[in-house]
A and B are shown apart, each in its own frame.
Chain A
Amino acid sequence: KQEVTQIPAALSVPEGENLVLNCSFTDSAIYNLQWFRQDPGKGLTSLLLIQSSQREQTSGRLNASLDKSSGRSTLYIAASQPGDSATYLCAKGNAGNMLTFGGGTRLMVKP
């Protein structure tokens, strides 16, 4: 069974810190890797999509990397802000564009 794992499960940092969220997956048959943000009780907001042929993608203060050989992706958030507080989910895209999600990292950025 395909598995996607995210560590840490929860993270609390002071405002302004740079931080890294980790995502690991089994099965190298990956189409793409997508990072999402979810606020409590809300839907998912797409942050970044990395195609299997790409190594990284950047959007503003966010940078995501993908290493298929090691089955890892990281989301780097620069200069964190209280508004970044949310749950961050990575999802592995498979054939049929079925997304398999990790358990998420709950991020709290304190002012």
Chain B
Amino acid sequence: DTEVTQTPKHLVMGMTNKKSLKCEQHMGHRAMYWYKQKAKKPPELMFVYSYEKLSINESVPSRFSPECPNSSLLNLHLHALQPEDSALYLCASSQVVDSLNTEAFFGQGTRLTVV
């Protein structure tokens, strides 16, 4: 099983709402990632979790708050977003960080629209 599952698939939220994106994997991977992809652009890294601890934050605004409750789950809490935050949010996982053989597996993404 090489599946990374993201929910919901689509989300529309107002600028004053609070919502969460969820990501789950059962491959025993200990590294999990959030990427953001704007239309017709490549994905850009937001956060890296290694062994359930935040290891990299790519200067992401605080209105995005990641959480890793356990080794299989990764959440992204959203609050007071702006319309320009509308994008496809992708979750990924890999065996470990800093290994030559760390193939990354991605979920199908959550299409977020902020109105």
- As a 0/1 sequence over residues 91 to 115 of chain B, the CB contacts with chain A under 8 angstroms (1 = contact) are 0101011111111111111010000
A58 at the B interface (CB under 8 A): no
Q: Which residues of B contact A102 (CB under 8 A)?
A: 42
Is the beta-carbon distance between A101 and B43 smaller than 8 angstroms? yes
CB-contacts of A42-95 with B (<8 A): 42-46, 49, 51-53, 89, 91, 93, 95
Tell me, in angstroms, the Cα distance from A32 to B111 when the chains sit together.
28
With A44-B43, A98-B56, A101-B43 known as contacts, the answer to whether A36 contacts B102 (CB < 8 A) is: no
With A52-B100, A98-B48 known as contacts, the answer to whether A45 contacts B106 (CB < 8 A) is: yes
Partner of A32, one of B35, B88, B100: B100
B74 at the A interface (CB under 8 A): no
CB-contacts of B53-112 with A (<8 A): 55-56, 88, 90, 92, 94, 96-109, 111
Task: Tell me the B residues contacting A by CB distance below 8 Å.
Answer: 2, 4, 6, 31, 33, 35, 41-45, 48, 55-56, 88, 90, 92, 94, 96-109, 111
Instruction: Name 24 A/B residue pairs within 8 A (Cβ), A-sorted.
Output: A31-B98, A31-B99, A32-B101, A32-B102, A32-B103, A34-B103, A43-B6, A43-B107, A43-B109, A44-B106, A46-B103, A46-B104, A49-B101, A51-B101, A91-B104, A96-B48, A97-B33, A97-B96, A97-B97, A99-B43, A101-B42, A101-B43, A103-B42, A104-B42
